[in-house]
């Protein structure tokens, strides 16, 4: 067997994980960094944290290259990975925090202030003395967030912070992130597949695919320019005849009593035309227009770029 192994040489294939990715993030921004699996998100974050060294180009965090200044950089950043924990598994949460106070040389005053504030917002006092292995996923995530922010980092990296959490805990975590950003001007870089995180937290998003940055700009601009349809909700004073609605909108509508929800394909007609039709045929009580959800917007963005590549 050993002799056979001597004749077998492993083959390695070099893969370019990210290519010419360039961006600048200002202090106090909350930026969503999104893309499909294998797009290069984690590689970028690992370079920014200082775990990986880029083979070309340069990364600067506060004027320093993180991979050349790992110790100094680690004092300025907090990191939360949704699938991993930085907490010690077999000891109570509070003991992890005390160890981190020692490691980061956090003053007693700062430590006690942060523990008190985190307890008020996230309710970590409920399980502070519970071993980490006994925590639920939602409790562990809250405890991890607190651990990442205990030393008042300037930058917070969040990788899938709400993955697997129930709705109530998600809202609590998002509220905490917004509060920390508002009160401390902490810069937040967020990778997520939960697009509701983007809607609730980010004003700017960066979209990466196959190692290349496809979009970097405002989330609202992305929605306006890559949303192919609107959802129009119109409430009338009396119910519209079903036959009228079917003849006008075919299957592109649903109704709840006097409310009609119509999907408007922007390439075919405008919301204004539909509203005008309702005003002409009934007494309109209320009108609401919303764009398609961010999931569909991002799919449209990918399709647009892939079509451009083929052409």
Residue 183: which CATH number?
3.40.50.300
199: exposed, middle or buried (Cβ count in 10 Å: 0-12, 13-18, 19+): middle
Is 133 inside any structural domain?
yes
Cβ atoms within 10 Å, residue 234: 25
Is 257 inside any structural domain?
yes
The pair of three-digit structure tokens given for residue 278, joined into one six-digit string: 């309702």
Least confident of 128-132, 154-158, 164-168: 164-168
pLDDT of residue 293: 67
Residues 60 and 164 in one domain: yes
Residues 218 and 240 in one domain: no
Is 296 inside any structural domain?
no
3-state secondary structure string, 239-256?
Answer: CCCHHHHHHHHCCCEEEE
Residues 75 and 91 in one domain: yes
Residues 81 and 96 in one domain: yes
Residues 214 and 258 in one domain: no
Put the strands of the sheet holding 204-209 in their side by side order.
Answer: 77-81, 155-159, 187-191, 30-34, 204-209, 212-218
Strands 155-159 and 187-191: parallel
Q: What distance in Å separates the CA atoms of residue 278 and residue 98, rounded to the nearest whole number?
A: 64
pTM: 0.78
Residues 53 and 171 in one domain: yes
Q: Which of 175, 192, 223 is the last residue of a domain?
A: 223
Residues 78 and 129 in one domain: yes
The pair of three-digit structure tokens given for residue 74, joined into one six-digit string: 């680690």
Is 265 inside any structural domain?
yes
Residues 154 and 70 in one domain: yes
User: Do 106 and 151 meet the contact criterion of CB atoms below 8 Å apart?
Assistant: yes
Is 298 inside any structural domain?
no
Q: Which of 203, 223, 243 is the last residue of a domain?
A: 223
Is 301 inside any structural domain?
no
Least confident of 129-143, 213-227, 232-246, 282-296: 282-296
Domain count, the chain: 2
Residues 63 and 136 in one domain: yes
Residues 61 and 145 in one domain: yes
pLDDT of residue 182: 95
Residues 177 and 267 in one domain: no
- Average pLDDT on 272-283 reads 90
pLDDT higher than threshold 90 for residue 28 = yes
Q: Which of 223, 247, 262 is the last residue of a domain?
A: 223
Handedness of CA 48, 50, 56, 61 (dihedral sign): positive
Residues 263 and 143 in one domain: no
Span 80-119, pLDDT tens digits: 987 788 999 999 999 999 999 999 999 999 999 999 999 9
User: Do 217 and 186 meet the contact criterion of CB atoms below 8 Å apart?
Assistant: no
Q: Which domain holds residue 71?
A: 30-223
Span 207-249, pLDDT tens digits: 998 899 999 999 888 877 777 777 889 999 988 888 888 888 8
Q: Which of 191, 243, 209, 229 is nearest to 83 (CA)?
A: 191
List strand residue ranges (DSSP E) for the chain, in order: 30-34, 77-81, 155-159, 187-191, 204-209, 212-218, 229-236, 253-256, 259-265, 284-291
3-state secondary structure string, 141-181?
Answer: HHHHHHHHHCCCCCEEEEECCCCCCCHHHHHHHHHHHHHHH
Is 160 inside any structural domain?
yes
User: How many CA atoms lie less than 13 Å away from 24 in the CB half-sphere?
Assistant: 3
Is 1 inside any structural domain?
no
Query: Which residues lie closer than 8 Å to 202 by C-beta, 6 or more apart?
Result: 30, 31, 32, 190, 219
């Amino acid at each position: 067997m050993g002799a056979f192994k001597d004749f077998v040489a492993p083959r390695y294939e070099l893969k370019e994980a990210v290519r010419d990715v360039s961006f600048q993030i200002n202090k106090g921004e909350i930026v969503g960094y999104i893309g499909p699996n294998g797009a290069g998100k984690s590689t970028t974050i690992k370079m920014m944290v200082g775990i990986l060294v880029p083979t070309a180009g340069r990364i600067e965090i506060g004027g320093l290259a993180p991979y050349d200044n790992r110790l100094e950089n680690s004092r300025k950043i907090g990191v939360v990975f949704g699938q991993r924990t930085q907490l010690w598994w077999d000891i109570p949460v509070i003991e992890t925090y005390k160890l981190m106070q020692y490691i980061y040389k956090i003053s007693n005053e700062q430590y006690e202030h942060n523990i008190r504030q985190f307890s008020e917002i996230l309710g970590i006092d409920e399980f502070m003395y519970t071993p980490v292995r006994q925590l639920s996923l939602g409790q562990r995530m809250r405890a991890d967030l607190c651990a990442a922010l205990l030393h008042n980092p300037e930058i917070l990296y969040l990788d899938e912070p709400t993955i697997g959490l129930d709705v109530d805990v998600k809202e609590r975590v998002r509220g905490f992130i917004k509060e920390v950003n508002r009160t401390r001007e902490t810069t937040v870089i967020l990778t997520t597949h939960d697009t509701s995180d983007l809607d609730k937290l980010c004003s700017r998003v960066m979209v990466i695919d196959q190692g290349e940055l496809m979009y970097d700009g405002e989330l609202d601009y992305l929605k306006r320019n890559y949303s192919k349809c609107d959802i129009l909700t119109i409430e009338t004073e009396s119910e519209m005849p079903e036959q009228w609605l079917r003849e006008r909108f075919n299957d592109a509508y649903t109704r709840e009593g006097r409310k009609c929800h119509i999907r408007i394909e922007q390439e075919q007609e405008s919301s204004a035309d539909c509203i005008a039709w309702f005003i002409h045929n009934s007494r309109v009580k209320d009108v609401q227009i919303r764009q398609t959800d961010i999931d569909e917007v991002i799919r449209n963005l990918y399709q647009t770029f892939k079509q451009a590549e083929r052409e």
